[in-house]
Amino acid sequence: MLPALPVSLRLLRLLRFPCYLVSRRPALSVPSRSLERVQELHDAPLAPLTTFRLGGPATRLVTATTDAEVIAAVREADDTGTPLLLIGGGSNLVIGDKGFDGTALHIATRGFRLDGTTLELAAGEIWTDAVARTVEAGLAGVECLAGIPGSAGATPIQNVGAYGQEVSATVTEVIAYDRRSRETVALSNADCAFSYRHSRFKAEPDRYVVLRVRFGLEDAGGLSAPLRYAETARALGVEVGDRVPLTAARETVLKLRAGKGMVLDPEDHDTWSAGSFFTNPILTDEEFAAFRSRVAERLGDAVEPPAFPAGEGRVKTSAAWLIDRAGFTKGYGTGPARISGKHTLALTNRGEATTEDLLALAREVVAGVREAFGVTLVNEPVTVGVSL
Ligand X SMILES: Cc1cc2nc3c(=O)[nH]c(=O)nc-3n(C[C@H](O)[C@H](O)[C@H](O)COP(=O)(O)OP(=O)(O)OC[C@H]3O[C@@H](n4cnc5c(N)ncnc54)[C@H](O)[C@@H]3O)c2cc1C
The residue (of 260 and 292) whose beta carbon lies closer to ligand X is: 260
The residue (of 35 and 86) whose beta carbon lies closer to ligand X is: 86
Out of 199, 224, 276, 340, the active site residue is 276
Pairing of strands 84-87, 100-107: parallel
The residue (of 93 and 372) whose beta carbon lies closer to ligand X is: 93
Look up residue 304 and give its DSSP letter. Answer: -
| Shortest spacing between CB 160 and ligand X, in angstroms | 4
Give catalytic status of residue 340 as yes or no: no
* Angle, CA of 284, 199 and 151, to the nearest 5°: 130
3-state secondary structure of 235: helix
| Shortest spacing between CB 53 and ligand X, in angstroms | 11
| Shortest spacing between CB 182 and ligand X, in angstroms | 16
| Shortest spacing between CB 79 and ligand X, in angstroms | 19
Q: Is the CB of residue 315 less than 8 Å from the CB of residue 309?
A: yes
The residue (of 116 and 351) whose beta carbon lies closer to ligand X is: 351
Q: What is the dihedral of CA 339, 340, 346, 348, to 10 degrees?
A: -80
| Shortest spacing between CB 346 and ligand X, in angstroms | 7
Type and span of the H or E element at 36: none
Cβ burial, residue 25 (10 Å; 0-12/13-18/19+): exposed
The residue (of 208 and 288) whose beta carbon lies closer to ligand X is: 208
Spatial distance between the Cα atoms of 153 and 251, rounded to a whole number of angstroms: 23
Give catalytic status of residue 250 as yes or no: no
For 76, half-sphere exposure in the C-beta direction (CA atoms, 13 angstrom radius) is: 25
| Shortest spacing between CB 265 and ligand X, in angstroms | 9
Q: How is 86-131 classified by DSSP, letter by letter?
A: EESS-TTEEE-TT-EEEEEEEE----EEEETTEEEEETTSBHHHHH
| Shortest spacing between CB 6 and ligand X, in angstroms | 35
The residue (of 51 and 189) whose beta carbon lies closer to ligand X is: 51
Contacts of 269 (CB under 8 A, 6+ apart): 348, 349, 350, 351
* Angle, CA of 294, 295 and 297, to the nearest 5°: 65
CA-based radius of gyration for the chain: 22
316 C-beta neighbours (distance < 10 Å), count: 18
Contacts of 201 (CB under 8 A, 6+ apart): 156, 157, 174, 176, 192, 207, 208, 210
Q: Is the CB of residue 380 less than 8 Å from the CB of residue 197?
A: yes
Give catalytic status of residue 314 as yes or no: no
Pairing of strands 161-162, 165-166: antiparallel
| Shortest spacing between CB 44 and ligand X, in angstroms | 15
Out of 40, 76, 173, 197, the active site residue is 197
Spatial distance between the Cα atoms of 313 and 284, rounded to a whole number of angstroms: 6
Q: Is the CB of residue 54 less than 8 Å from the CB of residue 353?
A: yes
Residues that bind ligand X (CB under 6 A): 51, 86-93, 107, 123, 148-151, 153-155, 157-158, 160-162, 201, 208-210, 262, 264, 271, 273-275, 382
The residue (of 105 and 140) whose beta carbon lies closer to ligand X is: 105
The residue (of 211 and 223) whose beta carbon lies closer to ligand X is: 211
The catalytic site residues sit at: 197, 276, 380
